[in-house]
């Protein structure tokens, strides 16, 4: 297990295929991305 990791938090409406976040995830090992929210149908936790 690596001593550190990189967490990517996508911007509003996600990060497209040409966005730097997508580039980084595909090229750097250990990078994780937060699951994207469905901005058209958000769910409020209660």
pLDDT of amino acid 3:
67
Residue 27 near residue 3, CB atoms below 8 Å: no
Average pLDDT over residues 6-20: 81
Higher-pLDDT residue of 18 and 3 is: 18
Question: What is the tens place of the pLDDT at every residue in 14-35?
Answer: 778 888 888 888 888 888 888 7
pTM (2 decimals)? 0.56
């Amino acid at each position: 297990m690596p001593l550190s990791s990189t967490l990517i938090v996508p911007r509003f409406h996600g990060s497209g295929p040409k966005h730097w976040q997508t580039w980084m995830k595909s090229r750097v090992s250990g990078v994780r991305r937060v699951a994207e929210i469905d901005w058209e149908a958000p769910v409020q936790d209660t």
